[in-house]
Structure 1
């Protein structure tokens, strides 16, 4: 499969997971009701499922890859900033609201600007991980390049090593999914040392028969909005259902937490292998269209 086609398949799954996961926030239904509907596998009834900043930033990555065939960080900074200016109400986090307007004015200063976030520590959030699966799909034939390009895509906004490690883990998982080789041990082996890698090791030791809510309790499901609290559970869900995108998304939603982000990660990874062909038509019709495509992929 050529890089652009592989990346677009991943993007379709990422956007679907993002929009599907967003349905379960209190804005749309109380938590108790949401959890009951997830356990009952009841399709959200809203006629329009909008995606969030997860997809908006993934689109920025894909635009740079389409234009240059690789990550060029100043160009990526510019793409992220323009996406934020076009629609800042997509659910961007506090750090991105602070960073992206600065990058709009001075995109070439991304190294200093990213490092200055959070009192000079840089962001260790899940934002670099949530958007990166299409990049892993693009470079899936070369796992070393996947990791290198994931680092480059992450450090534009996430200077903290854990934020970068989360992006590497998800990109590697997406590439392995596209190759039909996804295992948590293989992802952990290519993830930099630290809390994300340790979380992946715990996920690899967790039986797939574990109930999703118990897995989320053990691994974290994004409630702390950190890469190490998000990526292991999302990838556990993906590895649990590597050939079934719908089941993977329901499993991920059952973990609650930062549901749009965990489902975006899971969806982007699993769709590298499956595409969205097995997804109910009503889901695809309700999901907000992506640029250059209709509601259905």
Structure 2
């Protein structure tokens, strides 16, 4: 096990994790389970704070907590242990909104964590290209912000345990690099694209880089995608665009991201984790912090 000196910057990781959880819980408020679409749209446009006394987070945060636990213990992504912790998080509360693939994979990993090497690539004929690896990884990027290469490498290692498709991996790399750059005060979409593996995610980030920040978020979501297909390439570019558009202002970043709807808990988790890696959550309304389900 590595010494604390090799564990990066846990304080930056914690800032990102708290903001990711807040974004996740905030974004979840706008799903049809809680509000009809017309009502949700009106409330987001009016910047009306969700009224529920407790904002529960989803699998995005549950998985981010599992990843954080491994990094706190080992200082790096220890993949077999990570597979076990993902499986334990799923087993503890399967109603957090896990995708279909995770309902197949994670119960198997509970009994045999090392089997991720054969099981994850077998999901969906080549591995999952969903947004699950991207939604949980911002705190990892924040932790390793001093070394962008390490942030990208560790993000990829964390991704393949569940999302073995190259686009699923690329989504995780892009978000981790964005969070690292955010901590450094160097976050641009162009800089993220440079370190993102070639493919659809990278192409989407490059399109996002060309989209003026004057564009309305709902229109940006139409152009870039907002996770309606639950794919990394359909989720990451928009979430990073809103994060880049509102660096230094977590509250505004989350409202803008929510305007895109789609997989809104995940887009808000990604944007929150990236922006919050630098800002923390102190700048959002106090009632938001009180209402967000506490981290365990």
CA distance in 1 between counterparts of 2:42 and 2:184 reads 35
State the match for 1:188 in structure 2. Answer: 193
Aligned to 1:37: 43
Q: 1:134 to 1:263 in 2, by over 3 A?
A: same
Of 21, 32, 37, which aligns to 1:26?
A: 32
* Matched position secondary structure for 2:228: coil
1:251 match: 256
1:104 aligns with 2:97: no
Kindly indicate whether residue 35 of structure 2 is the aligned counterpart of residue 17 of structure 1: no
**1: CA distance between counterparts of 2:69 and 2:9?**
13
Please provide the CA RMSD for this pair. Answer: 0.9
Query: Is 2:169 aligned against 1:164?
Result: yes
Shift of 1:44: 0.3
Query: TM-score, normalised on structure 1?
Result: 0.97
Structural mapping, 1:179-258, within 5 Å: 179-258=184-263
- Give the distance between the partners of 2:9 and 2:69, measured in 1 at CA: 13
2:12 paired residue number:
6
Please list the CA deviations of residues 163-214 of structure 1 after superposition, one character each: whole Å capped at 9, or x if unmatched.
0000000000000001111000000010000000000000000000000000
2:280 corresponds in structure 1 to 275
Distance of 2:190 and 2:8 partners within structure 1: 26
**Offset of 1:230 from its aligned partner?**
0.1
Output aligned runs, 1:54-133, within 5 Å: 54-118=60-124, 120-133=125-138
Question: What is aligned with 1:142?
Answer: 147
1:109 CA displacement? 1.1
User: When the two structures are superposed, what TM-score results if normalisation uses the length of structure 2?
Assistant: 0.97
CA deviation after TM superposition for structure 1 residue 53, in Å: 0.1
Counting matched residue pairs gives: 290
Distance 2:220 2:91 in 1: 37
Alpha-carbon distance between aligned partners in 2 of 1:2 and 1:204, rounded to the nearest angstrom: 29
Write the distance in 1 (CA, Å) between the matches of 2:28 and 2:185. Answer: 28
Please say if residues 8 and 144 of structure 2, whose CA atoms lie closer than 8 Å, have aligned partners that are also in contact.
no
For the Cα contact (< 8 Å) 2:22–2:289, is it kept in 1?
yes
Q: Cα offset for 1:2?
A: 6.0
The 4+ residue runs of structure 1 with deviation greater than 6 A are: none
Structure 2 Cα separation of the partners of residues 186 and 25 of structure 1: 32
Distance of 1:157 and 1:175 partners within structure 2: 22
**Structure 2: 5+ residue runs without aligned partners?**
1-6
- Structure 1: state its 5+ residue gaps: 292-297
Pairwise CA distance, 1:116: 1.0
